Amino acid sequence: MEIYEGKPIFKGIAIGKIFYYQKGKQQVKREKIQDVAAEIARYEAANEKASEQLQALYEKAVKEVGEANAAVFEVHMMMLEDDDYVSSITNMIETQNVNAEFAVATTGDNFAEMFSQMDDEYFKARAADVKDITERLISVLSEQESAGEIGAEPVIVVADDLAPSETVQMDKDKLLAFITRYGSANSHTAILARTMNIPALIGVDIKEEWNGHMAIVDGREGKLYIDPEEEVLTKLQEAQKKEQEARELLSMLKGKEDVTADGKHIKLYANIAGVGDVANVLANDAAGIGLFRSEFLYLEAEDYPDEETQFLAYKRVAENMAGKKVVVRTLDIGADKQVDYFNLDKEENPAMGYRAIRICLDRPEIFRTQLRALIRASAYGEIAIMYPMIISVEEVLKIKAIVEEVKKELDEQGIRYGNFEQGIMIETPAAVMMSEELAKEVDFFSIGTNDLTQYTLAMDRQNMKLDTMYDPHHPAILRMIRMTIENGHKGGCWVGICGELGADTTLTETFLKMGIDELSVSPSFVLPVRKIIRETKVK
C-alpha cells in the first residue's frame, strides 16, 4: 500500500480503479508553406469549426452543471477571437511561412506561459484555458476529434491536468473522483467536482503506473491510497457507507420547507463568492443567497470593474435565482483582502483599519459605480443590498443619502430598477450596542460572526498561535447575537447570520430559540442545517 497527500477540493470518499487519463496531444511539426493566403484561410475555417464545437459543449454543460459553470466555454469562444491571439497566429503564418498547426501551437505555448507567470491565481488558472483552445484548434486542423473517453466502468480519473472541455465530455456516471498533479481551487475541474459532489485532490505526485490499480480517495483527509490494505479498505468502506446513507437521508429534504417542528418558518440561504457558485446553491436547494461577496469582482480584476461589468454579474445571479432573494454585500476590500490598484497604505492593524464601508464612503466614486450596478440589477430579480463594517447610525444615513442620489440619477436617465431592501452587517461590538437605533434605519441585519468574534475577543482570527484560545462559542458572542436579534425585532427588521457560526449545527437550535429569522451557510451545509431546523421546537 502506498499513501499520497494532496490538497482536497471536495470532501468525501471514493473507492475504485484508477484510470490514467492521457491527453491526446498532437505532435506538431514545423512545415514551410507556399500559399500564405490559403493557409490563413485554413486556420480561419478551423477557428470557425472550433467555435461551433465550443457552442455545442456550452449547451451540453448548461444541462449537466448549470449555466454558471458552463460559462467557461463562452470565455473559450471569446479567447478564440481574441485580437492578440489571432494576430499572433496569422502574423507567424505570414512572416515565417509556417503551417497553421505550428503557428497555433507556438502561440498557445507563449500565451499559456505568460498566464502561468502571473501572480494572480485566477489568471494562472487561465493558462489551462489557453492550452485547451489551442489543442482544439490543432485537432481540427489535423482532422482529429478530441476525446474525453474514460471507459465503460466507474473510475477514479488521474491526470496531470484536465481542461474544461475534457471534463465536460467525460461520462458523469463513470466519474468517482478526480486526482491531478496541477490545477487550482479555481479551475473548472475543481468547480465540476464541487458541483457533482465527488472527491477531488490536486497537487498529487501522480504516476502512470497506477493505471488499473485499486485506490481510495479520502477527500476529508486529502489522502490517496494505492492498493489499500484490507484493514484500511474495510474501514473506509464503512465510512463511505455512512456518508452515502447520510446523503440519501438529506436528499429527501430537498423541496421541503425550512420550518421548525412547531411551525416557525426560517429563511435558509447560501453564501457565495461569485457567479460560478450559483449552480451549487440551486443544487443544494437553498431558498436564496444570503451573502454574495461582491469583492470577488475586484479581486479578479486588474483595474476597477466598471458599472456594466458589475451590472451583468449581479443581473446574471438575480436571473439565475429566478425570484429568490439575493443579498449582495457591497465592496469589502481591506484587511486580509488586498487589491493592488486600490493603492492602500500598509497598516499596522489592517483588520481595524481602512476597509469596507470606510473606503466606500471615503471614495464615493467607487461606491456610486457599484450602487448603480446593483440598483439596476434589482429590476431583474429580488436584490437586497448589504453594507459591511457599520459602526454608527450616521454612516447608514450617509449611505441612504447616496442611494437616493443614485436612484434620482437613474430616474432622470430613464433607467429602470426594482424595489430592493437595504441592510447592514453586524460585525462590530459598536454595531451590537447601537442595534436598536440601527434597526429603525434598515430592512435587515446580517450578523457576521467571523469578525464579530475577532473584535469581541480582541483576537486575530488568522493568528495560528491563538487557535486554541479563539472561541466563537464564547458566552459574550452568544449574548451579542441574542441582543442583536432582540433589538432588530424591536426596530422592525429581520435578522440573520451569514458568518461561519450559521453553519455550526451544534448551535442551530440555540439560534432558533433566540428568534433568528435567517441563516446563510455554505451551499453544502444547507441540507444538514435544514434537517436540524425541521427537528427543532422553538417554543
> Which phi and psi angles does 348 have, rounded to 5°?
-65, -35
Helices 449-457 and 475-491: crossing angle, nearest 10°?
120
- Other Cβ atoms less than 10 A from the Cβ of 14: the count is 23
The catalytic residue among 76, 188, 360, 493 is 188
Distances (CA, A) of 207 to 210, 213, 222, 226, 426: 6, 11, 17, 11, 50
Diameter of the chain by CA atoms? 85
To the query of whether residue 265 is one of the catalytic residues in this protein, the response is no
Mark out the alpha helices in 434-503 (DSSP H runs). 435-439, 449-457, 475-491
Which residues have a Cβ under 8 Å from the Cβ of 117 and sit 6 or more positions away?
A: none
To the query of whether residue 76 is one of the catalytic residues in this protein, the response is no
Contact predicate 202/183, CB 8 Å: yes
- Other Cβ atoms less than 10 A from the Cβ of 118: the count is 14
The catalytic residue among 76, 360, 493, 498 is 498
- Other Cβ atoms less than 10 A from the Cβ of 311: the count is 20
Instruction: Give me 315's grid cell.
Output: 443581473
- Give the dihedral of Cα atoms 51, 52, 53, 57; nearest 10 deg: 100
Contact predicate 403/421, CB 8 Å: no
Distances (CA, A) of 477 to 20, 351, 391, 427, 453: 50, 18, 17, 11, 6
What's the distance, CA 463 to chain centroid?
Answer: 25
As a whole number of Å, the CA-based R_g of the chain is 26
Mark out the alpha helices in 197-306 (DSSP H runs). 230-251, 278-283, 296-299
Distances (CA, A) of 258 to 157, 247, 249, 270, 284: 37, 18, 16, 13, 13
Place of cell 507563449: 110
Please give the positions annotated as active site: 188, 498
